[in-house]
Structure 1
Amino acid sequence: MSDDHRMYELEYPSPAVGEGGPAGPTLIIAMQGYADAGHAVEGSADHLKAALESRTVATFNNDELIDYRARRPVVTLNQHEISNVEDLELDMRVLRDSDGTSFLLLSGPEPDLRWEAFSEAVADLVERFDVRETICLYAAPMGAPHTRPLVVSAHGNREELVGSMFTFDGMVTIPGSASILIERELHKRGRPVAGFTAHVPHYVASSPYPHAMYQLLQSVEDSANLRFPLRSLERDMAKVSRQLAEQTAASEEVAQVVHALEQHYDTEMEEYRERNPEAMMPGEAQVPSGEEISEAFENFLAAIEDRDRALGEGHSPGEDESTRRLSDHYFIDPSEDDGFEGLAEDDE
C-alpha cells in the first residue's frame, strides 16, 4: 500500500471539483492549530461548512497524523455506557460559493505528526484536482485595538494573490505550522500559494472574534473572486463591538490601554502608507478598475434596454446574468428607472 493511501482516502464516487469557474478551483486551508487567535481560522472553516453546500473529497487518516494524548477526543457516557466519541475530522471538501463557483476547503485539526508527508500528500491533491491557487488562513494575537480596522497581512509567491494587501516590510521570524510546510511544498512545485493572517487584538485572542473571521473571508473573496454569505458574521460583529465598547467605557484603566494601542496603530499605519502609497489600507474598500466599471455599466445599460423591450411587448422580463452581477457587485437595483438612484444594501 502506498504512503498516500495510508495518509488519506478519496471519496468514491468522487464529487465534481472545479465547476462554475473559468480555471481550476481555489483551495482554502483553514486548520485548527497554533496560529488561531480569536478562533478565526476554525471559525472561518465552520462558517463556510455551515453556510454552503459541501461534499467530502478526501478524508485524512487520524492514526497517521493525530497524537491522541495531546488532542483527546471528548467521550460521552450515558446510562453507564459509552454513547459517543467525538470525531476529529481532518478532510478536504468541495463547496459552492454564493454564485455557484466550486472551491476546496481543507479543515480540521492541524496534524501532530508527519508534517512533511502530510504536506506532500496535500500538494499531490492540489495537482490531482488542478487547483488554481491555494490560500492558507492564519490568525495571530497582536498589539492592535478593537476600535480600528482589523489588519489582514498577506504573503505569497504570486503578485496577483497578494495584490495591494498589507504586507510586512523586511524579514519576519515566526513559529512553523503544518500549513506553512504545505506552502513551502507548493512553492517548490511552482504552484501559486499565499497566506493571509488576521491581526487579532491580543486581549480578545482567547475568545471567538467574528471580526477576524469576517476579514479573513472577505480577503479570500477579493483575492480568489469568490462570494460568501457573511451576514450572520456581521450580526456577531455588532454584538461583540457593543460588548467591548461597554467594557472599555466601564474601566478607565482599560480605556487608557486601548487609547495607547490606538496611538501606536495610527503611527504604524501612517508610516506604512508613506512606504507603500499604492497599498490598500485596512478599512478601505477595494476600488474596481476603470475597465471593470465600464464593463459593468455597459451590461447595466443593455439590461435596461432588454427590460424596456420586454415591457413594450407586454410581459415582465426575468433578471438576466449581467443585471444580477451588476446588482451584486455595485448594489444597483435594476428595477429603478434611474440607475444612479437605485442604491441598496446587498442582502446576500
Structure 2
Amino acid sequence: MKYGIIGAGAMGFRYGVLLQELAHQPVDYVEIWEPNLKKVKEQGGVYVSRDHEGRHLVKADIYSPEEYAAKGGDPDLWIIMVKQMDLQNYLTRCADAGLFKDHQVVFSAMNGWGHFEKILKYFPKERIYGGTAMVASAFNGPGDVDFIGKPGAGTMHICAMTEEVTPVEKEFVADLDKTGFNPQITQNFRGTCMAKVIFNSVINSLCTMYQITMGQFVSYPGYKDMATQLINEAYDALERSGFQPIQTRAKAIEEIDYVSRVANPLHYPSMYQDMSKGRKTEVDYINGYLAKVGRENDCPCRVQEFLTHGVHVAELAFQVHKKEAEEKAKAEVAIAK
C-alpha cells in the first residue's frame, strides 16, 4: 500500500519513516511549511535520532501540494498529522491541487478534537479512520526529528468512522504492526479518539504549565491525584453526552503511568514544544474541548476549564520571560562594548 503523509513534522515523519524502513512501503510527504520543505529537499531527506542519539539521514520524498499534483502523486492512504489550527490550510491546499481522489482513504491520530469535521468536507465517513498514537516524537527544527522512547514501546488504536472493520484497515494495521506501533482495531470511533484527548488533557497540559518531562511529572507523589481529578471530570462529561471511552478510568491512569514512566520518560509533550518555540498550543482542542462538552451537558469540568486558562497564561509568561532575557542579553552586550 502506498502512503501519503500530510504534515512532515514530528509525528508525520515518525509514521512515514517507520513505514518506509520497517514495513518497506512507499511513502511520500506533502508539506506546506516552506522552511521544512526546503530543508528536507536540500538534505535529500530528514535527520532522525532516537532519544537524542544516533542521528542519521533518512531519504524522504517531499513535495508541496502543487508539486505532488504535477508529479501525479496518488497514495492509497493519507496519514494526516498536523496541528489543529493549521489543518484547514493543509486540506485546502491539497484539495485545490486535486490530490484527494475517490479511491483514497484517510487516517488521523492528531491531538485534540475538531479535525474530523474538517476532514469530512473532503472525504465521506466510509473512507475516514481515526485513532490514538501513544508514541512520542520531537521536532527539533526543519528536517530534523527525534523519536522518543525505545522501539516498540508505543501503542495505538485505529477505528473506522463507520465502526466497521474493513480490508484496508486490516492491511494498514498489518503494516503498522511491523513498525512497532502495536496497533489495535476498535469499533468505538469517538470513544477511541477521546482516549488520547483525555490522556493529553493530563500530560500535555500539566507538563507544559510546569515545563517538565513526562517522567518528571509522574515522579511527583501526588501526580495520581491530579490525574484522577482531570480524568473523572472528562469521563463524567463524556458519559453525560452519551459517549463511553474505550477504557476504564483506572486503565486511563495506568496508561498515563506506563507511557510517562516507561515508554517516554524523557519526553516534553508536543504542547510544551509548541510553547517553547513561540507557537500557539492546542489546549483549546484538548482541555478546552472537554470543558465545552461539560458546559453543553450540564456537567461542569472546572479543573479542565482552569487548565485551559492556565496553559494560556503559561504561554504568555514564557513569551514575557523570553523577551526579558533577550533585553537583558542586549543590555549586557552594550555594557561590554
The two structures have a TM-score, normalised by structure 2, of 0.36
Structure with the larger helix share:
2
| Bigger Cα Rg | 1
